[in-house]
Structure 1
Amino acid sequence: MAGAVALLTLIISVLLTAFAWPSVRSSVHDIPLAVVGPAPAADRVSASLAERMPDAFAVTEVADTATAERLIRDREVYGAIDVSAGPPRVMIASAASAPVAQALQGVATALARAQAPAGSPAVAVRDVVALPADDPRGAGLAAGALPLVMGGLLAAALLTSLVRGTGRRVTGALAFAVTGGLAMAAILQFWLGSLDGAYLANAGAVALTIAATALTVLGLESLLGAAGLGAGAAVMMLIGNPFAGTSTAPEMLPGWSGALGQLLPPGAGGHLLRSTAFFDGHDAARSLTVLTAWVVLGAALCLISGVRARGRSGATISATVAPSPSPSPSTAAA
């Protein structure tokens, strides 16, 4: 009993740490940001940002507003502060990250007040890539992160329990990825209004994420049994989901956790879905590569397991049908 209590205490502590630590310790750091204006003015803004919020922004200085807007639409920066004419103006992309957009508005307001301390100037804000009107806070996309992970895990668990044969399980996982992607994208886009963009592209992003998760866990289970199933579920749920940064931004997560999350299916899938839904597929190449690599890895693990199983089966059959030794002459005469 004491051992069971200790194990349960450890499990609940790990769960709390995995899900609470990224949220509690999240902050603005190394956020890509453009500053628009002549070099002297842009340098002053960059210096002011570095003084007020050290290491908060990775600043790219550009000469004109059009260039900054292109960088935002290409997902190279999260927003821009424009000081090319008069008080600071801010361009945001709430579809990239609502918390980052809010932080940028606060920074621009502070800069404007520093320039005109006597008044309280209103900062002009333009949302270059806005969230849908039906879901202006991006709640649907944030809430959809967990079902994306759970869909792949449930597929692996059910297929392992109900379907025999590695090939049938892989086929079932791929079929469910397609139908699950179509269903989830339809709910988010047509019912909840949380997604824009092309429906089939959004469904493809969801399907690829489910396939990456399901095939990886299936492959681990096929090689290691229940231990592989548990290990795959732990990696996807306790590391991949909290470190995905879907509700905020990977750059807001503490330390190395955001970068790690983007290398796992939940983080890569959330990033890919934002790209297809709001940015016409820009900055999707890395996420596509990560998800495809996990799909290939899972399929390779399943293939290796199938080859091993066939080898063991062939060896068993050979041993079963092997001819018995011929009797010796003396035994036959007797």
Structure 2
Amino acid sequence: MSSSPAARGARPAVLLPVLFAVALTVLLTAFAWPAVRSQPRDLPVAVAGPPAATAQLTEALTAREPGALEVRTVADQAAAEAAIRDREVYGAVVVGDGGPQVLVASAAGPVVAQALREVAGGLGAATGTPVPVEDVVPAPAADPRGAGLAAAGLPLAIGGILTAALTSRLLPRLRLRIAAALGMAVAGGMVTATVLGTWLGSLSGGWWTVTGVVALGIAATALVLLGLESLAGTPGLAVGAATVVLLGNPLSGLASAPELLPAGLGTLGQLLPPGATGSLLRSVSWFDGAGAGSPVLVLTAWVVAGLLLAAVGGSLRRRRPPVAAAPAPVAVAA
């Protein structure tokens, strides 16, 4: 028994609110959950000074907030500063003849630097003497809160998605799609270097260096999505784009630091193109390339994976038998 036209017309009115609620739940969870649950988790910091003092300080720091800090002991202030510049730690507490001193690197993450300043405040309250704070690698004066880099995550992710979507729709041949995607990635890198670097002063790396980093990041996203589209069509492209937006961007750590995200999610975010691109931009902008090896490897792996997926998808398409054309109608004499 078939349903009436009125009943069939009412189904979308019932389904649409349900689908909207599901979609909004996914979006809110993806973007709000990491931000709300943000707190230090095994945040690497160093302590330096006499062995007795560093042992007592390490115990005090780990007991203050269990699981928040991963405390490493180094020889002296010079070693602590070297560890910060090499991106091995986010900051340090140095105990000298004049008392403790806290070293931070706001360029590595203003949110983390602020958390370490609060640690300095706690030490000062415990000792009754203000603890000085030195910013070893400061954020750029034009953007001390790192707002430009934090805001760049979503536009760069969308840039990779748009590159894949446009080239897959407008260009019929796979080689042309890849060539155009690489060209668009370079153009995106140039725009980012000009806007965030030259104009806003949010990035301090060389113009060509920033261009190359952003181009690699956009290419990593675009080529993987092109590969998925070549292999699985529009559904593959859609799933890849949703992964970049719902996982890659919120878990990138650009607004804070990977160690501040819920357990395991920060590590996952650094294995996706947005997080790796952000970490690489920090390294080349303020740390002379220290810590750049891992994100370069991640982005290169995504580029290679995208090219391999595209090659496999193109090969499968060539092997499919052509769709037979419908026979033309034969005219019958009256």
Alignment TM-score, normalising by the size of structure 1: 0.91
User: Is structure 2 residue 237 aligned with structure 1 residue 221?
Assistant: no
The residue type equivalent to 1:68 in the other structure is A
Structure 1, residues 118-152: CA drift from partner, whole Å, max 9, x if none?
A: xxx33211111111111111111111111110100
Q: Distance in 2 between matches of 1:52 and 1:90?
A: 16
Equivalent residue, structure 2, for 1:68: 80
Question: Residues 109 and 87 from structure 1, CA distance in 2 versus in 1: closer, same or farther, beyond 3 angstroms?
Answer: farther
Q: Distance in 2 between matches of 1:57 and 1:186?
A: 37
Q: Distance in 1 between matches of 2:245 and 2:225?
A: 12
Equivalent residue, structure 2, for 1:103: 115
| Structure 1 residue 7: Cα displacement | 1.6
The residue type equivalent to 1:90 in the other structure is V
Equivalent residue, structure 1, for 2:155: 147
Match of 2:292 among 278, 281, 284: 284
| Structure 1 residue 86: Cα displacement | 2.7
Q: Distance in 1 between matches of 2:211 and 2:82?
A: 26
User: Is structure 2 residue 127 aligned with structure 1 residue 115?
Assistant: yes
Note if contact 2:229-2:236 (Cα within 8 Å) is conserved in structure 1: yes
For residue 60 of structure 1, give the secondary structure of its aligned residue in structure 2: strand
Alignment TM-score, normalising by the size of structure 2: 0.91
User: Is structure 2 residue 310 aligned with structure 1 residue 302?
Assistant: yes
Equivalent residue, structure 2, for 1:252: 260
Match of 2:164 among 151, 156, 176: 156
Equivalent residue, structure 1, for 2:184: 176
| Structure 1 residue 185: Cα displacement | 1.2
Structure 1, residues 79-106: CA drift from partner, whole Å, max 9, x if none?
A: 1111122322111100001011011111
For residue 99 of structure 2, give the secondary structure of its aligned residue in structure 1: coil
Note if contact 1:87-1:112 (Cα within 8 Å) is conserved in structure 2: no
Equivalent residue, structure 2, for 1:82: 94
| Structure 1 residue 112: Cα displacement | 2.1
Note if contact 2:120-2:132 (Cα within 8 Å) is conserved in structure 1: no
Match of 1:186 among 161, 176, 194: 194
User: Is structure 2 residue 23 aligned with structure 1 residue 23?
Assistant: no
For residue 66 of structure 1, give the secondary structure of its aligned residue in structure 2: helix
Equivalent residue, structure 2, for 1:324: none
The residue type equivalent to 2:98 in the other structure is G
Equivalent residue, structure 2, for 1:198: 206
Match of 1:263 among 271, 282, 307: 271
Structure 1, residues 11-31: CA drift from partner, whole Å, max 9, x if none?
A: 110000000000000001211
User: Is structure 2 residue 19 aligned with structure 1 residue 7?
Assistant: yes
Q: Distance in 1 between matches of 2:96 and 2:206?
A: 35
Equivalent residue, structure 1, for 2:174: 166
Equivalent residue, structure 1, for 2:280: 272
Decide which moves more: 159-168 or 285-294.
Answer: 159-168
The residue type equivalent to 2:148 in the other structure is G
User: Is structure 2 residue 59 aligned with structure 1 residue 51?
Assistant: no
Number of residue-to-residue matches in the alignment = 313
Q: Distance in 2 between matches of 1:310 and 1:55?
A: 54
Match of 1:236 among 218, 226, 244: 244
| Structure 1 residue 286: Cα displacement | 0.6
Note if contact 1:109-1:123 (Cα within 8 Å) is conserved in structure 2: yes
Note if contact 1:153-1:214 (Cα within 8 Å) is conserved in structure 2: yes
The residue type equivalent to 1:223 in the other structure is L
Unaligned runs of 5+ in 2: 1-11, 326-334
Note if contact 2:54-2:95 (Cα within 8 Å) is conserved in structure 1: yes
For residue 251 of structure 2, give the secondary structure of its aligned residue in structure 1: coil
Note if contact 2:276-2:296 (Cα within 8 Å) is conserved in structure 1: yes
Give the alignment's Cα RMSD to 1 decimal: 1.4
Equivalent residue, structure 2, for 1:327: none
| Structure 1 residue 306: Cα displacement | 1.6
| Structure 1 residue 311: Cα displacement | 2.5
Q: Taking every aligned residue pair, what percent have the same amino acid on both sides?
A: 52
| Structure 1 residue 277: Cα displacement | 0.7
Q: Distance in 1 between matches of 2:300 and 2:319?
A: 28
Note if contact 1:35-1:81 (Cα within 8 Å) is conserved in structure 2: yes
Equivalent residue, structure 2, for 1:332: none
Note if contact 2:231-2:314 (Cα within 8 Å) is conserved in structure 1: no
For residue 96 of structure 2, give the secondary structure of its aligned residue in structure 1: coil
